[in-house]
Amino acid sequence: MLIHLENVPRFYKNYVKQVEETDVLQALQTSGEHTMKVVASITEAQQDHRYAEGKWSIRELLCHLIDAERIFAYRALRFARNDQTALPGWDENDYAPLANAGGRSLSQIAGEMQRLRLSTIDLFEGFTEEMLWCKGFANNTEISVMALGFVIAGHETHHRKILLERYLTTG
Q: What's the predicted TM-score (pTM) here? A: 0.95
Tens of pLDDT, residues 105-115: 999 999 999 99
Q: What is the model's pLDDT at position 7?
A: 76
- Mean local confidence (pLDDT), 56-80: 98
- Is residue 59 exposed (0-12), middle (13-18) or buried (19+ Cβ within 10 Å)? buried
pLDDT at residue 171 tops 90: no
- Give the integer Cα–Cα distance in Å for 63 and 55: 14
- Give the integer Cα–Cα distance in Å for 69 and 149: 9
- Give the integer Cα–Cα distance in Å for 110 and 19: 22
Encode 143-165 in three state secondary structure: EEHHHHHHHHHHHHHHHHHHHHH
- Is residue 53 exposed (0-12), middle (13-18) or buried (19+ Cβ within 10 Å)? exposed
Q: In CATH, which superfamily holds the domain spanning 5-167? A: dinb family like domain (1.20.120.450)
Cα 112–98–47 angle (5° rounding)?
Answer: 55
Tens of pLDDT, residues 16-48: 999 999 999 999 999 999 999 999 999 999 999
